[in-house]
Structure 1
Amino acid sequence: MKIAVLADIHGNLTALDAVLADCARHGVDQLVILGDHFSGPLLPFETAERLISLAPTAIAGNHERQLLSQSFHEMGESDRFTCRALAPHHFDWMTRLPATLRLENDILLVHGPPTSDTAYFLETVSAEGLRPATQAEIVTRAEGTDARLILCGHTHIQRTVAFGGGRLALNPGSVGLPAYEDNEPFPHQISNASPHARYARLNGVDGSWAASFHTVAYDWEQAAQIAERNGRSDWARALRTGRL
């Protein structure tokens, strides 16, 4: 069985379509998406239409929760743009997304760590900056679940970490946004240093899973121009370069 693992599309339909085409070329059996589907100054309406038509196995990220729970004035700029663009049936679809989901008995889908959609799982942010999380930190963050394979998103960084006696945590990277900055819990930047769309594939053989990471070229100039037309030069630079 082949599973494609996607996360953090952020309304980048051009990148999503390129990843879906790559999945089709490699005979993917199941599509799994780990949240933050639409939010961003690109094509949230069109991305929502595409995803809903695919009926993927999907969970909510922090942006879905924010779009459903925050008032318009509480939202950040990307969520406000998305809120104005989406239709009622898109919000209905989001309300049905779970925060976490168990798949194939041994796989857990989460956005951040199992208990939070805003904390980081495989990275740690401190006053000194961003670094890979330690084994001890990951073990602590995975407490409460016995899943052998945990699929997470949120940080947009492709990474796989073995921990806790044969368990594995995997972040497929971001389909739609290769760089961003955040001020919580301390100011930091994520920069993947290239504009490619990113995802992962899982191959199931005899009860175990082999993971592979993939970067996909697409027309990121088109996406950057959409961001510029919508007043987001910061997104345009990130989309063109993978840097801030």
Structure 2
Amino acid sequence: MKIAAISDIHGNLAALDAVLSDIQKIGVDQVVNLGDICSGSLFPRETAERLIPMGLPTVRGNHERQVLTLSVEQMGPSDRYAAETLTPAHLEWFDSLPSTIRLNDEVLLVHGTPDSDLTYFLETVGPEGLRRATRAEIRDRAGTVDARVILCGHTHLARVETLDDGRLIVNPGSVGLPAYDDDRPYPHVVEAESPHARYAIVSNDGRGWSAEIRRVEYDWEQAARVAETNGRHEWARALRTGRT
């Protein structure tokens, strides 16, 4: 079985189309979407309209939850732009999405961790900033989940880890936003260090599961100009450079 995992599109339609084209060239059995789909500074509505007819197995990210549950006054600029742009039909789609999906006996889809759409799975944030999570931290976050593969997103950092018991944890990175900063639970920055769109191919050839992270070129300069037009200069820098 061969699965393409996409995550954290954040309304970057050009990046999404480039990734979907690359997936089509490779050929897979299933494409899955790990959430944070539309919120951002680019094309929320168009991204939703691109994905809804595809009917992909899709989990709800924290940004979908926030658009559905927060008042506009409580939202950050990315969620506010999505909330003001999306139609009721798009919001109904958000509301239909589960927080986790058991794709089959061996594969679990989550956004953050099995228990939270906000917890980082393969990274840890402390007073000193962002660092790679220890194996003990990853094991604790995986808990007693018996899936052989857990696909997660949220941090926008592509990473693959194998636990001592053989469970494979894969973050495909972000399709649409390669860098951001946050102040929760402590101030930190997340940087992929290049502007490429990212996704993962996870496959089982009968001898076990493995993962490949793929980087895809697209017109990130045009995307950055759209972000600038919409007043999001920090997004423009992230889109051009993969840095904050």
Q: Same fold by TM (over 0.5)?
A: yes
Matched residues in 2 for 1:71 and 1:10: separation? Answer: 19
Question: What amino acid maps onto 2:150 in structure 1?
Answer: I
Question: What amino acid maps onto 2:104 in structure 1?
Answer: E
Matched residues in 1 for 2:71 and 2:18: separation? Answer: 34
Q: Which residue of 2 aligns with 1:158?
A: 158
- Deviations for 1:60-107, whole angstroms, at most 9, x for unmatched residues? 000000011111111111100010110111011111100011112111
| Displaced runs of 4 or more, over 6 A | none
Matched residues in 2 for 1:142 and 1:234: separation? Answer: 33
Q: Which residue of 2 aligns with 1:213?
A: 213
SS at match of 1:98: coil
1:8 aligned to 2:8? yes
1:17 aligned to 2:17? yes
Matched residues in 2 for 1:149 and 1:27: separation? Answer: 20
Unaligned runs of 5+ in 2: none
1:36 aligned to 2:36? yes
**Which of 128-137 and 139-148 deviates more?**
139-148
Give the C-alpha shift of residue 164 in structure 1: 3.6
Give the C-alpha shift of residue 207 in structure 1: 6.6
What is the RMSD of the two structures over their aligned residues, measured on CA atoms?
A: 0.9
Matched residues in 1 for 2:114 and 2:21: separation? Answer: 30
Give the C-alpha shift of residue 137 in structure 1: 0.5
Matched residues in 2 for 1:168 and 1:27: separation? Answer: 22
TM-score computed with the length of structure 1 as normaliser: 0.98
SS at match of 1:181: strand
SS at match of 1:118: coil
Matched residues in 1 for 2:209 and 2:30: separation? Answer: 14
Report the count of equivalent residues: 244
Q: Which residue of 1 aligns with 2:223?
A: 223
1:170 aligned to 2:198? no
Identity %: 58
SS at match of 1:65: helix
- Deviations for 1:154-186, whole angstroms, at most 9, x for unmatched residues? 000010111141111010000000000000010
Q: Which residue of 1 aligns with 2:54?
A: 54
1:111 aligned to 2:111? yes
SS at match of 1:104: coil
Matched residues in 2 for 1:82 and 1:207: separation? Answer: 43
Matched residues in 1 for 2:94 and 2:37: separation? Answer: 10
Q: Which residue of 2 aligns with 1:86?
A: 86
2:179–2:189 Cα contact (<8 Å) kept: yes
Give the C-alpha shift of residue 35 in structure 1: 0.5
Question: What amino acid maps onto 1:82 in structure 2?
Answer: A
Matched residues in 2 for 1:223 and 1:21: separation? Answer: 18
Q: Which residue of 2 aligns with 1:26?
A: 26
Matched residues in 2 for 1:68 and 1:3: separation? Answer: 29
Matched residues in 2 for 1:171 and 1:234: separation? Answer: 24
Matched residues in 1 for 2:171 and 2:213: separation? Answer: 9
- Deviations for 1:121-160, whole angstroms, at most 9, x for unmatched residues? 1000101111110111111111141111110000000101
Q: Which residue of 2 aligns with 1:196?
A: 196
